[in-house]
Structure 1
Amino acid sequence: MIKLVSTFLNSEGKTHNFTFKDPDTTKSPEEIKESLNLLSSLNLFEKDGVGLFQEVVKAKYVETIERPIFEGDELFGEPAPIEDIPEEPTLPKEVDTDRLEELKAKSSWRELPQVPKVSLSSLAKEEVSIDELNETPETNFKALTIEETDQKIPDLTNEPSNKPYDIVKEMLRRKLRRRKKEEERQHSPDSSS
């Protein structure tokens, strides 16, 4: 689509654009300038007491290229060509190790320490089993039970243990306490529900 975008000055000396869709592109620049000057000489257009189109400043054609990709189930055109990815530069086979060490010494870059790999299976030495974890509504918190192993659960007043099975147990206890408090709030006589 081709548009003619022309810039005009208003009576306050500010610029504004006038866009005309599908202009006659066979006209010469002199003819277009004459037509736009005619528009500015009419003094017909005014907005909030400010006269528009007082003087023509410039004009240009703006072309928009539209390439439809699809409409509904109908596909158009060919897929865009895949650009060739430039190959990464390779190091020469022979490396001057003295020069490399010299550059490393001058550089401020340092290699980061490796992150240790940790798996939870290596940390959990004792088992925790959960008998029932039913997908019941949130209001039925009694369906969730925890069966303890022969290990004692650490006292909550002491510093909590960092073992994964203790953390899981504590999280489940907290969840049960929150559900119980929420249920008590919902069923209290002073609630407005």
Structure 2
Amino acid sequence: MDADALLSFLLTALVLELTPGPNMAWLALLAATSGPQAGLAAVLGITLGLAVQALLAATGVAVVVAAWPGLFQALHIAGVAYLLYLALESWRDAGNPAHHLPGGGEDGAAGFRRGLVTNLLNPKAALMFVTVLPGFLTVESGAWESAVLSAIYLVVAVVVHLMIVALAGTLRGPLADPVVSARMHRVQAMTLAAVAAWLLGRG
């Protein structure tokens, strides 16, 4: 796997994790209302859920790449389409702070359970591993390359979630500001669209 593909995947994983969604909003408010320990427990649950998805998807993607090149190409196109969908969704949601819902004041155990279950069933993560990730592989790629990309995604997710917990108190106000929210959504939308265009050209 070449360095450009690794760097592009790292950027894609970072943008996807920074895209406002249930993990980000809930985790920020949980840490702000229930403290950093509850936030860290939630990060552990989120990471475990994502790791299970990554493990299952890495094996499946390797099989697809080796046995069905045509299906691999279809997954590649699906990944591009999914990134464009996220870009459109982010642009459409610009200025809408409705995803910042009350954290509910869960304790650490409740935060862990919710983080785990939510990400075992997280369609965003599933689509990432099944459609976006194959776009950064080649037909010759095997389980090792797929596992490396999955591990990179998990590391990025952990870092982003830990940053959310650490900065929850100071970022809660700005993130709820409609002007800041609109700008953040539009920047993310343009970045996702650019990555989708790069993937389409690479395929």
**Is the structural similarity TM-score above 0.5?**
no
Q: TM-score when scaled to structure 1? A: 0.19
Q: Greater CA radius of gyration, 1 or 2? A: 1
Higher relative strand content = 1
